[in-house]
Amino acid sequence: DTGVSQDPRHKITKRGQNVTFRCDPISEHNRLYWYRQTLGQGPEFLTYFQNEAQLEKSRLLSDRFSAERPKGSFSTLEIQRTEQGDSAMYLCASSGLRLSHNNEQFFGPGTRLTVL
């Protein structure tokens, strides 16, 4: 399968713990995006990478959140000192380089985080 994959699919943690999610994009895609989605809402942008460079971060991404894409392939999103308000679905997407791709983004299945 050559789609976007995310791991884990579900994560339950206690408030104050750190969690890390992984995203593997489509192999030929150079752009990788993280979004957060809460129940009944559309995805909200968090950050994106072009290759290994983090080009934009949302104000939603507090100091407790950090994302990396060290080799321009997979990415990790870490949340430190989790809070109940961090409970959400975390979606990863990737897109290709060529302008003909029109920024069509391919999404992974998401990681559902529950903070108790």
The contact set with another protein (CB under 8 A) reads 4, 31, 33, 35, 40-45, 48, 50, 55-56, 58, 89, 91, 93, 95, 97, 102-110, 112
Nearest to 74 by CA among 110, 17, 26: 26
Rank residues 63 and 104 by Cβ distance to another protein and give the closer one. Answer: 104
Tell me the closest approach of the beta carbon of residue 16 to another protein, in angstroms.
26
Q: How far is the CB of 78 from another protein (least distance, A)?
A: 20
| CB-nearer residue toward another protein: 45 or 74 | 45
Residue with smaller CB distance to another protein, 72 or 109: 109
Cα dihedral value 37, 89, 113, 55, nearest 10: -80
Beta partners for 22? 7, 76
Answer positive or negative: Cα dihedral of 29, 32, 33, 39.
Answer: positive
CB of 76 to another protein, least distance (A): 18
Least Å distance, CB 67 to another protein, is 13
